[in-house]
A and B are shown apart, each in its own frame.
Chain A
């Protein structure tokens, strides 16, 4: 880390916290490098005639946007607005949405790598851990075939990274990152409201030592994490109400939203089992959770809250992108790797990463779009 020069006058790239790579230019190069395989994948998928239904839906919704129109009739059709607007602005239809997702994949993987590097994880283990998220069919599918789902997931990962810095290290820039990522995510994925609520609830658990004896710290943390997402959702609700007379019409129109097909409690149980099943095939998450439980049991509340939020989001019927839950759980596992892990823990994590990658390639459910995507790709 470069240190401050006199009186706080800083070089353009100097930041308060250690970064990796150290300069902005190198960080973007790494992001690009990590995104290149997914760009190639998007191009190959397109060449093989693989149709991305999610991205095509976005394109269709994007075409309804009438830029500069003063009546806003289209507002009811375009939620979530950010990926829809991106799709509308891109010239090449679903392929370009895939390319944008591919580039965003590079950003997500760099964020994960940076966190591991700063926590002094050995290079080989770092590579394997990043691969345990990135070298999986679900990640590849999401990034290249489901822009909205991937942006939601990527922002979830960014928010989680910020939350950990904010709550554990007291770094308010992390709070900015977490809150703003959730705010933007709210415009990409309605399930963000659930995530934001659980993130805010988890923060005091993660940072209980720091908050001890600090009146108002818990409500303040809650406000800082939740406010941007809440403001974004309320703002959008106001717009829809003002110009269409309805609120979140497109979300409510989804078949699954608040449907509870197996009854309220039955659905909740099923979704919980579904999330646990995904946890079972992400051993990195399991190991880091155990490590947290051994060191500081109360901090386990953080990852558990994240699982709970995923369960509740699925239970409420938010249309999570295919593979999104799995990738989020895998990302949490990497994010919560302990600082300066011992040799044994490093070996354990490296092995778990390899196992996780192998498990991710097993076609557990042939009907899933991810499985079909892989089959088409290698056909």
Chain B
């Protein structure tokens, strides 16, 4: 091993090394130098990002230039006890990995940074022994850390939040006080039904009626506020164009994929369309260890160097949030976003998010982009789905943002400050709508979630069975989120305020309740229509009937109307009249809600997988949807 102490290795010209090793031609290197000067990057980073130079080839060439051995960590055995003396996160952050004993008392250490004298001095201080430095790559260090610390990383991804704050985790469906309340409530309810059937029916009807009225009024009000912001272009195209590449920070993109071999190729193409300097993108493709088909498809797609595979070790619960937590462990970006495999984000979305974060204060931990569908007109279901999303993401979320109310995040295109996300504890792998939960948790901890107008286009569910599975998971997740955040209702009110707490209760708790109440209410309507007024008044005294009628006629009409307006705003004109079919669509939700309730009791953490890639239409329909 050569002595590197008398040479300043930071002055080794990597471009010259590349040229000398014949890894790229002079023209490519010259161009990379110019671009690097322009954007404040390094030429070799650009060459790697463009896949002009291979990562391992460069590492070998640099090892030779630095006169140290190259270490291929993927085929090297290490001293596990030695490795475990250090924190996994530290090894990844500092880019080194201890391998084992070297000559004499020395320790062999693989380093991704130049093996300078300073590097040596620091590592010797850390290891308290002389070190022999070998060259490796950051990617290899990360891979080795994942292997060496598999159990710890997995354990942290699964149970980190629960250990840190068990009451914020859905691992336990009901905590002890909730269990007591539930049992007492059940007993009292049964007694009431048996002893005071009529009165109980009247009380429940009244509560449901008032609840629906308040919920509809709230949603309509929020939508109306959202509609007012229609032309408010908080981040203009000029703002985005004015951003210099040199000002942009490292951005981590997490893409969890599971049993999605059929969409991996599209995913690579979609991510390639992002308008963001490639050398500042860290794209982590989160693959499940037991999903060999997708892993093989990902390898076959020949992804660019900016995409890194992270194979998440198998283990329960096998959920998207667990994979995301593993990804979070390796995230190096100042900001981080999640995309689903089939997503088509607006190309400038990351830049919009950067601007939003920079304009916001530190309490803004997340911004949510709008979601919509590229296969809206595939069939009736995709049309209804698109109507719903247009209303939700274009009216509801901007309205909630403007009113400073808690925002339940959508499943994808959530952009985070990475450190803030770590502080929040990452995603709850036991919550099957970990995104919605995280948005509410952020609010509950006094942080702020905002929205940006950029849109990500997804594939709408076109199959009814698939829809019920997906929706039952979402509704179950809302139930879990409600139960988690209502464990300490007074504390919630104190932290976020009464208005925000009520908003949370209405939106997250009210939604599953409303769907659960739909079939009984329809049955009640049919009975009412078939009964005489005298028979009705027996069980539905005046004011209860009045509230029910207002709900039936005004409530339904208002919710149908906002969905029509949402489609109009998206300029999905041909979908507007489909809004009239919303009551039928809500029935599908009701079916999913009952399935969700059953699962909450018997399979609370089961992740109903939504199958993607079923759409039969192309990704660029003739009437391209409009991003607002």
Contact A9 B360 (CB under 8 A): yes
Within 8 A of B (CB), among A3-21: 3-10, 14-17
The CA of A76 and the CA of B251, in the complex, are separated in Å by: 66
Residues of A within 8 Å of B360, CB to CB, are: 6-7, 9
Find the A residue at minimum CB distance from B397. Answer: A8
Contacts of B559-589 to chain A: CB distance below 8 A: 560-561, 564-565, 567-569, 571, 573-577, 579
Given A214-B571, A220-B573, A231-B557, A172:B564 Cβ within 8 A: no
For residue B356, CB closer than 8 A to chain A, the reply is yes
Closest-CB distance, A209 to chain B (whole angstroms): 15
| Complex-state Cα separation, A14 to B398, whole angstroms | 13
For B224, B364, B577, the residue with the greatest tally of chain A CB atoms inside 10 Å of its CB is B577
Q: In the complex, are the beta carbons of B561 and A227 less than 8 A apart? A: yes
With beta carbons under 8 angstroms apart, the residue of B228, B557, B574, B623 that contacts A15 is B228
How does the 8 Å CB contact mask read for B199-234 relative to A, with 1 for contact and 0 for none? 000000000000000000000000010011111111
**Are A8 and B452 also in contact (CB < 8 A) when A176-B565, A238-B553, A242-B529 are?**
yes
A101 in the interface (beta carbon within 8 A): no
Does chain B have a CB within 8 A of A173?
Answer: yes
Is B542 in contact with chain A by the CB < 8 A criterion? yes
Count of interface residues, chain A, beta-carbon cutoff 8 Å:
44
Interface residue B451 (Cβ < 8 Å from any Cβ of A): yes
> Are B577's CB and A220's CB within 8 A?
yes
Cα–Cα, bound, A8→B395 (Å): 12
Rounded to whole angstroms, the CA-CA distance of A15 and B402 in the bound complex is 10
Q: Determine if A4 and B234 form an interchain contact, defined as CB atoms under 8 angstroms apart.
A: yes
Whether A70 touches B545, Cβ cut-off 8 Å, given contacts A7-B367, A9-B360, A16-B229, is yes
B533: nearest chain-A partner, CB-CB: A71
Closest to A4 in B: B234
Assuming the A-B contacts A15-B228, A175-B565, are A215 and B364 also in contact, with contact meaning beta carbons closer than 8 angstroms in the complex? no
Question: Which one of B231, B541, B568 contacts A17 once the chains associate, using CB atoms below 8 Å?
Answer: B231
**With A4-B234, A224-B568, A228-B561 known to touch, is A9 a contact of B576 (CB < 8 Å)?**
no
Determine whether the beta carbon of B543 is less than 8 Å from that of A68: yes
Query: What distance in Å separates the Cβ of B339 from its nearest Cβ neighbour in chain A?
Result: 19
Tell me if A275 is interfacial: C-beta within 8 Å of chain B.
no
Any chain B CB within 8 A of the CB of A69? yes
Roughly how many angstroms separate A175 CA and B565 CA in the complex, as a whole number?
8
B491 interface residue (CB < 8 Å to A): no
Chain A nearest Cβ from B561, distance in angstroms: 6
Residues in B neighbouring A297, C-beta threshold 8 A: none
B577 touches A8 (CB 8 A): no
Interface size, B (range):
35 or more
Inter-chain CA distance A20–B520, complex, in Å, is 48
CB within 8 Å for A8 and B231 given contacts A70-B533, A70-B536, A223-B564: no
A219 at the interface (CB under 8 A from B): yes
A16–B546 Cα distance when bound, in Å, is: 36
Question: Can you list, as one digit per residue, whether each of A181-222 has a CB less than 8 Å from chain B (1) or not (0)?
Answer: 001000000000000000000000000000000111101110
A7 pairs with B450, CB closer than 8 A: yes
Chain A residues closer than 8 Å to B536, beta-carbon distance: 70
Cβ A215 vs Cβ B401 within 8 A: no
- Give the docked Cα–Cα distance between A72 and B579 (Å): 31
Distance in angstroms between the alpha carbons of A192 and B402 in the assembled complex: 34
The reply to whether A8 and B398 contact each other, CB–CB distance below 8 Å, is yes
Which of A8, A179, A217 contacts B453, CB < 8 Å? A8
A72 to B575, CA, bound (A): 37
B540 contacts partner chain A, Cβ-Cβ < 8 Å: yes
Contact B542 A68 (CB under 8 A): yes
B361-377 vs A, Cβ < 8 Å mask (1 yes, 0 no) = 10010010000000000
Query: What chain A residues lie within 8 Å of B561 (beta carbons)?
Result: 179-180, 227-228, 231
Taking the closest CB of chain B, its distance from the CB of A5, in whole angstroms, is 7
Q: Are A227 and B564 in touch, CB under 8 angstroms?
A: yes
Q: Chain B residues near A242 (CB, 8 Å)?
A: 529
Query: Which residues of chain B in 128-162 are interfacial with respect to chain A, using CB atoms and an 8 Å cutoff?
Result: none
Measured in the bound complex, the distance between the Cα atoms of B401 and A14 in whole Å is 13
B452 to chain A: which residues have CB within 8 Å?
Answer: 7-8
A219 and B450 contacting across the interface, CB-CB below 8 Å: no
Judging by beta carbons under 8 Å apart, are B356 and A171 in contact?
no
The SS class assigned to the A binding surface is helix
- The residues of B that contact A215 with a CB separation of less than 8 Å are 573-574, 623
- List B contacts of A291 (CB < 8 A): none
Distance, CA A176 to CA B222, complexed state (A): 13
Measured CB to CB, the closest approach of chain A to B362, in angstroms, equals: 12
Partner of B229, one of A10, A180, A217: A10
Q: Are A216 and B229 in contact (CB under 8 A)?
A: no
Query: Distance (Å) between the CB of B42 and the closest chain A CB?
Result: 32
Interface string of B395-412 (1 = CB under 8 A from A): 000100110100000000
Chain A residues within 8 Å of B569, by CB:
172
Q: How far is the CB of B417 from chain A (nearest CB, A)?
A: 12
Tell me whether A7 and B364 are in contact (CB under 8 A).
yes
B541 CB contacts on chain A under 8 angstroms:
68, 70
Chain B residues with Cβ under 8 A from A179's Cβ?
561, 565
B537 on the A face (CB < 8 A): yes
Is B451 in contact with A7, judged by CB distance below 8 angstroms? yes
Give A231 to B575 CA distance when docked, in angstroms: 19
Q: Do B537 and A9 have beta carbons less than 8 Å apart?
A: no
Contacts of B341-370 to chain A: CB distance below 8 A: 356-357, 359-361, 364, 367
Q: Which chain B residues lie closer than 8 Å to A10 at the CB level?
A: 229, 232, 401-402
A70: chain B residues at CB < 8 Å are: 533, 536-537, 540-542, 545
> Which of A219, A221, A231: most chain B CB closer than 10 A?
A231
B402, A223: Cβ atoms under 8 Å? no
B549 CB within 8 Å of chain A = yes
CB <8 Å contact, B227 and A8? no
Q: Which residues of B contact A243 (CB under 8 A)?
A: 533
Task: Determine how close the nearest CB of chain B comes to the CB of A221; give it in whole angstroms.
Answer: 8
Chain A contacts for B576, CB-based, 8 A: 216, 219-220, 223-224
B617 at the interface (CB under 8 A from A): no
Who on chain B is nearest to A227 by CB? B561
Neighbouring B residues of A67 by C-beta, 8 Å: 542
Chain A residue nearest to B451 in the complex (CB): A8
Q: Assess whether B612 is interfacial by the CB under 8 Å rule.
A: no
Most buried by B among A9, A219, A228: A9
The distance in angstroms between the C-alpha atoms of A7 and B367, with both chains bound, is 8
B554 within 8 A of A: yes
Flag whether A239 is at the interface (Cβ < 8 A): yes
B557 adjacent to A220 (CB under 8 Å): no
Residue A341 lies at the interface, judged by CB distance under 8 Å to chain B? no
- Nearest-Cβ distance from residue B583 to partner chain A, whole angstroms: 12
Interface string of B317-360 (1 = CB under 8 A from A): 00000000000000000000000000000000000000011011
- Decide yes or no whether A92 CB sits under 8 A from chain B: no
> What's the nearest-Cβ distance from chain B to residue A82, in Å?
12
Partner of A214, one of B542, B543, B560, B573: B573
What's the nearest-Cβ distance from chain A to residue B452, in Å? 6
Given known A-B contacts A7-B356, A71-B537, A219-B576, A235 and B557 have beta carbons under 8 A apart = yes
Which residues of A are found within 8 Å of B232, using beta-carbon distances? 3-4, 8, 10, 14, 16
Chain B residues contacting A221 (CB-CB under 8 Å) are 568
B278 at the interface (CB under 8 A from A): no
CA distance A231 to B556 in the complex (A): 10
The reply on B471 being an interface residue by CB < 8 A is no
Cβ of B448 < 8 Å from any Cβ of A?
Answer: yes
11 A-B pairs (CB sep. < 8 Å): A6-B359, A8-B453, A16-B228, A68-B542, A68-B543, A171-B231, A172-B230, A175-B565, A215-B623, A220-B564, A221-B568
**Interface positions of A (Cβ within 8 A of B):** 3-10, 14-17, 67-72, 171-173, 175-176, 179-180, 183, 214-217, 219-221, 223-224, 227-228, 231-232, 235, 238-239, 242-243
Closest 8 CB pairs of A and B: A7-B450, A6-B359, A216-B573, A216-B574, A235-B553, A220-B576, A68-B542, A220-B573
> Besides A7-B234, A227-B560, 12 other CB < 8 A contacts?
A4-B232, A7-B367, A8-B234, A8-B450, A9-B448, A14-B232, A15-B229, A70-B533, A70-B542, A70-B545, A227-B564, A228-B557
